[in-house]
Chains A and B, each alone.
Chain A
Amino acid sequence: MDRVPILKIGDVLIVSIQGDLDDQSVLTLQEDLADRVVATGAIGVIIDITAVEIVDSFVGRMLSTIAGMSRMLDAETIVVGMRPAVAITLVELGLSLGGLRTALDLEKGVALLSRHGTQGTSDLSAVGL
C-alpha cells in the first residue's frame, strides 16, 4: 500500500497525489491529513491532482470529506490541477463536488489561500509563495 506524503510549507499542507491509489490508501490519506492539520495548526490544505488520471466516486467523496473535515478543523482545502478529461467525466458521473474549492494550478491555489487566510498571507510570502 502506498502512503501519500504530506508536505508543509508555512501554514499550508500540500499533498501531491501521484499515480493510481487503491481505496485503502485513499482512506489512509484522509486520516493522515486530519492528524496533520491538527498537529500543525495549518490554515490551508492544497491537494494537487495534476497526475491523477481518473477521479471516481470514491476519490471524489474523499476530496469532499477532506474539505469538510479541514473546515471543521479551521483549515481551507483547495484542489488544484484537475485535468479537463477528469472534470468532464466527473460531471457525467453525477458528482458535482459542491463545496469543494478548486484552482487551476498550485500557484493559483496558494494565491487563493493567501487571499482568504487571515494570518496566512505573511507566512506564505515568507517562503516565497
Chain B
Amino acid sequence: MSHPPAPRTVEELTITSNDEVVTVRQKVRATAIELGFSLVDQTKVVTAASELARNTLVHAGGGQANITIVQNGARRGIRLVFSDNGPGIPDRQLALTDGWSSGGGLGLGLSGSRRLMDEFVLESEPGRGTVVTVTKWTR
C-alpha cells in the first residue's frame, strides 16, 4: 500500500568526462539525503560512487551510472549500478585486492567501495564489459 516494493530509478547518468563524475557524486548525495542517511553514511555512499564512477571513466573510457531507490521490508536503500562496455576484468580476485591497480591509481576503488557499502556485486567478462552493483541500506 504505502510501501511500493518496486525499485524506483531516480537517475540514469552517462559518465564520459570528469565533469560527469562530479555530477554522479552530486546526484548520489541528493538521493542519499532524500532517503535520510546519516551524514557519515552519505559521505561513505558518495565516496564509493566517486571511486566507481572514476573506475568506469579511467578503465573503460566511460559508461553509465544508474541510481535506484530500493526497499526491503521497512528499510529503504540506495542502489548504484555502474556499467560499461570496456575491456572487463580478467581476474576478479586480484581486482578486489587492496593496492592492486591496473590503471596507475592507488588500487582502492573496488576494494574500498566494497567496504563502504553494505552490498557489492562485481560482474565482468573480459572483452564484454563490467557491471558493479552496490547497495547501502538506511539504519
- Residues of A with Cβ closer than 8 Å to B? 20-24, 53-58, 60-61, 83-86, 88-89, 92-95
Contact = CB atoms under 8 A, between A and B. Distances in A.
The DSSP consensus for interface residues of chain B is: helix
A20 B49 CA distance: 14
Nearest to B38: A85
A92 B114 CA distance: 10
Contacts of A92: 44, 112, 115-116
The DSSP consensus for interface residues of chain A is: helix
B21 A23 contact: yes
Contacts of B109: 57
Q: Shortest 7 CB-CB distances between A and B: which pairs?
A: A93-B112, A22-B18, A85-B43, A56-B50, A85-B40, A57-B108, A57-B106
Contact of B25 (A20, A84, A88, A94): A20
Nearest to A61: B106
B44 A23 contact: no
A109 B46 CA distance: 28
How extensive is the interface on chain B, given as a class?
20 to 34
B115 A85 contact: no
Contacts of B25: 20, 54
A47 to B, nearest CB: 18
A88 B22 CA distance: 21
Given A21-B22, A23-B21, 6 more contacts: A53-B29, A54-B43, A56-B47, A56-B50, A56-B51, A93-B112
A24 B26 CA distance: 17
B105 interface: yes
Given A54-B25, A58-B54, A89 B108 contact: no
A94 B115 contact: yes
A53 B25 CA distance: 10
B106 A89 contact: no
B2 to A, nearest CB: 31
Contact of B43 (A21, A23, A58, A86): A86
B108 A93 contact: yes
Best-surrounded residue of A22, A55, A61, A89 (most CB of chain B within 10 A): A89
A22 B108 CA distance: 18
A101 to B, nearest CB: 20
